[in-house]
Structure 1
Amino acid sequence: MDPNSFLDEKYESRLYVGNLDLRVTEAALIKMFSPYGKIVSEDFLWHTRGPKRGEPRGFAFIQYSTKEEAKLAKEKMHGRLACGRPLVVRIASEKYLEQAAQDPSKATTGDTNKTSLVGSSSGQMSRSAKIAAIKSKLKSLEEESGSAKKQKH
């Protein structure tokens, strides 16, 4: 068996769930997503420091046992209202790659950076996503050094 196919299956069965209302709990999230397949793991993200420490960050990751279950959950839950807010549901690797492809300069800022940091710390980031992140970081560093040189002159 090809070890890369196992990794692909793992990444394609992991969902990003965003735009979560602060009232949505981990238990409620699992209850909403469990009808679509076997949930292997769930990562509900919290602020770890600062004034919002201990509060939900507004997004989570759900790992299903198969990519088919993840795709079904994505189709059924994307746009569905939870506490009056439409859920944003994507395959986790798609979210990062989609944003990096649209605007590589944003791959080092905003939500994309949060996702890549979370993904890299838990080993959930695909190889191509890591490469895209490195390329965009290098580009932004080059742009910053270029603007710094212009300011000095």
Structure 2
Amino acid sequence: MDPNGSIDDKCESRLYIGNLDLRITEAALLKMFSPFGKIVSEDFLWHTRGPKRGEPRGFAFIQYSTNEEAKLAMEKMHGRLACGRPLVVRLAGEKYMLETADNSTKAGGEGHKLHLTGSSMGQTSRSAKIAAIKNKLKSLEEGSRTKKQKQNDDIS
């Protein structure tokens, strides 16, 4: 994020590619995504520890030279089958925002979930992000108050 609070160009041109079959190689991934524009960088993630060390983790990141190229690739490749599995393609920062929205809804019971649809995906307003964080904090505070009241009732 830049000092003005808007998402910088790098975030909007960097894609998260998930649900990759373990047979897909870096070269195959680049070949699938290169028709949509100039790929500036690619991060294909591997397990670095444990019994799966050296095996692909099932997701990667691709950075395009422009936001338009990234959006085109996202539109064309999201849901497309690769080795029998539908690819998950979205802006790199979006995964965190979706998880935050899900967690705040689960924790609060009646929390407000962020609605991300169509072309607005990845362009969630700053105020919507703040609202999601406030809902999460509120639900945590309410949960701790309930526990304290129970403890006080038990003592009495």
Q: TM-score band (shorter)?
A: 0.5 to 0.7
For 1:73, the aligned partner's letter is A
**Cα distance in 2 between the residues matched to 1:82 and 1:40:** 22
1:65 is aligned to 65
Q: Which residue of 1 aligns with 2:76?
A: 76
Give the equivalent residue in structure 2 for 1:32: 32
Instruction: Give the number of equivalent residue pairs.
Output: 132
| Partner AA of 2:84 in structure 1 | G
In the superposition, relative to structure 1, how do residues 97 and 51 fare at CA in structure 2: closer, same or farther (>3 Å)? same
Deviation at 1:143, TM superposition (A): 6.8
Shift of 1:99: 2.1
Q: Which amino acid aligns with 2:39?
A: I
1:41 aligns with 2:48: no
Write out aligned runs for 1:90-101 (5 A): 90-101=90-101
Alignment of 1:1-153 (within 5 A): 8-104=8-104
Whole-Å separation in 1 of the counterparts to 2:53 and 2:10:
30
Change (3 A) 1:105 1:49: farther
Aligned Cα RMSD in Å? 3.8
Separation in structure 1 between the aligned mates of residue 98 and residue 81 of structure 2, nearest angstrom: 23
AA in 2 matched with 1:22: L
**CA-CA distance at 1:104 after TM superposition:** 3.2
Q: Corresponding residue for 1:115? A: none
What is the percentage of aligned positions where both structures have the same residue?
A: 73
CA distance in 1, matches of 2:87, 2:81: 6
State the distance in 2 between where 1:80 and 1:52 align.
27
The structure that is helix-richer by fraction is 1
**Distance in 2 (alpha carbons) for counterparts of 1:44 and 1:136:** 32
In 2, Cα distance between equivalents of 1:25 and 1:91: 21
Query: Which whole-Å deviations, capped at 9, do the CAs of 1:54-98 have from their partners, x for residues lacking one?
Result: 110000000011111000000000011111111000011112112
TM-score by length of 2: 0.65
Q: How far, CA to CA, are the matches of 2:95 and 2:35 in structure 1?
A: 23
CA distance in 2, matches of 1:34, 1:136: 39
* C-alpha spacing 1:19/1:143, structure 2 compared with 1 (3 Å): farther
Rg bigger for which structure?
2
Gaps of 5+ in 1: 107-127
